[in-house]
Structure 1
Amino acid sequence: MSVIDGPRLAPVSGRPATSLVVFLHGYGADGRDLIDIGRSWAPELPDCAFVSPHAPEPCGMAPTGRQWFPLTLRDPTEYWRGAVHAAPALHGFLDAERARLQIAENRIVLVGFSQGTMMALHVGLRRPSAPGAIIGYSGKLAGPEHLGEVKVKPPITLIHGDRDEVLPIDLLFEATDALGAADIPVSFHISPGVGHGIDQRGLLLGLAAVREALG
């Protein structure tokens, strides 16, 4: 199993962390890509720590970036197989962070972007107990046909631009339909005019979901 790590932010309060937000970056990026969201959210979450691990593999299409799993975009099953392959490293990382901070699983929120959303959904729904929430931007649910194996049902918020040219917005509806059919609580927001990215409204909605999950 690969060991992963990445940039961290301690709580701005200076007190021990009572919660943790874990950012999972997209294909070809690395942990530095999303950690600045933590800096913008920190004043509203003063006792929360933030971490943004680098995915375990060098990216085949972006030599300076990382990938959770390789993509060819030719095989529709590669998302599921890739998520299964990458899951042990992320599970191990979450276990280590929870033990390091001495916090409960429901005090952890997973926030993903693109391929990171695939990992947040895959791993977050297969933890020993439910995380506080899962928030996914511009992503996809890998292997919706496998949701029958899921035992935990954390609240999920999905946010997607209606001009996304990389992962079309149809994937948002595919995910919400499958999650709803599995009785997993899910809400969604469509970002008008936004491509494969996150706008300010999306960031505010993500922060609101984190605050609701962590009280």
Structure 2
Amino acid sequence: MKMLSGPSALPENQAIESLVVMLHGFGADGQDLIGLAPFFKQHLPKTAFHSPDGPQPCELSPLGRQWFSLQHTDPDMMRRRAETQETAFEGMYEAAKDVAPLIQSYIEDLRRHYNLPADKVCLLGFSQGTMMALHVGLRQTEPFAGIVGFSGALVGKSKLPDDLTSACPVLLIHGEGDEMLPVHAVDLAEEGLSNAGVSVEVMRRPYLPHSIDAEGATAAAEFIQARFRQA
């Protein structure tokens, strides 16, 4: 099995007590989200941050990476239209399932390295990384502390009730001005998670496009901090 790798940001002169694994969006790489680590460290000074590169070269951007192909799973870009999003996200399930073991192995290696229990791990994703964070994080043998997803979606909503093994709390943050994945995606995710028995909070950011703003980053940091404190 191919091993994932990517940048990290570790505590300075402090023991590592928790782990955040950051999964980037389509066409980016691990450097994209690790840039948030200095901000998160203000809330989480004893947390290690790791941001692996996706396993595949991006089919649309030679310098970027992807978790799975969008040209194969959604060639008609149905994800960009609210009325066809649900069909598009259902069609991505098998691709997410295929790549999930790579992320699972990456997380397990880090847990062993830092000697951390599952409830001291949070996943954070952006866009396609959110899809993977939800897919992997809700199928653990022991629940993680939580999952944060920015500007993403729940793939395989219909499969989740049967697949679910660890219903950790979820925070979803989505811009109402998102044209890449219109905000209806977060409505579908909220419905699918709630129906499966997952505790989910949703934060909609007025006018925000497909990106992360300061308010969303703060909400994410506070959510993760609270989840680690409860562990």
**CA distance in 1: counterparts of 2:105 and 2:214, whole angstroms:** 32
CA distance in 1, matches of 2:209, 2:137: 25
* Partner AA of 1:22 in structure 2: V
Q: What is the CA–CA distance in structure 2 between the aligned matches of 1:86 and 1:53, rounded to whole Å?
A: 13
Tell me how far 1:193 sits from its aligned partner: 0.7
Paired with 2:172 and 2:109, the residues of 1 have a C-alpha distance of: 26
What fraction of aligned residue pairs are identical, expressed as a percent? 37
2:95 to 78, 82, 93: 82
- Matching residue of 1:108: 121
Indicate the residue corresponding to 1:53 in structure 2: 52
Where in structure 2 are the equivalents of 1:120-131 lying within 5 Å?
120-131=133-144
Give the letter aligned to residue 162 of structure 1.
E
Deviation at 1:143, TM superposition (A): 0.1
* DSSP 3-state at the match of 1:85: helix
State yes or no: 1:195 paired with 2:209: yes
* Aligned ranges 1:1-215 → 2 under 5 Å: 1-12=1-12, 14-72=13-71, 73-74=74-75, 76=88, 77-148=90-161, 149-215=163-229
Amino acid at match of 1:30: D
Q: Distance in 2 between matches of 1:44 and 1:211?
A: 7
Q: Secondary structure at the match of 1:189?
A: strand
Equivalent AA in structure 2 for residue 185 of structure 1:
S
Q: TM-score, normalised by structure 2?
A: 0.90
Could you list the structure 1 runs, at least 4 aligned residues long, displaced by more than 3 angstroms after superposition: none
**Structure 1 position 6, deviation (Å):** 0.6
Q: CA deviation at 1:46?
A: 1.2
| Paired amino acid for 1:56 | P
CA distance in 2, matches of 1:103, 1:135: 19
Q: Which residue of 1 aligns with 2:85?
A: none
> 1 CA distance for matches of 2:97 and 2:150?
20
Contact 1:71 1:78 in 2 (8 A): no
Q: What runs of 5+ residues in structure 1 fail to find an aligned partner? A: none
How high is the TM-score relative to the length of structure 1?
0.97
Q: Following the alignment from structure 1 to structure 2, what is the Cα–Cα distance between the partners of residues 88 and 154? A: 19
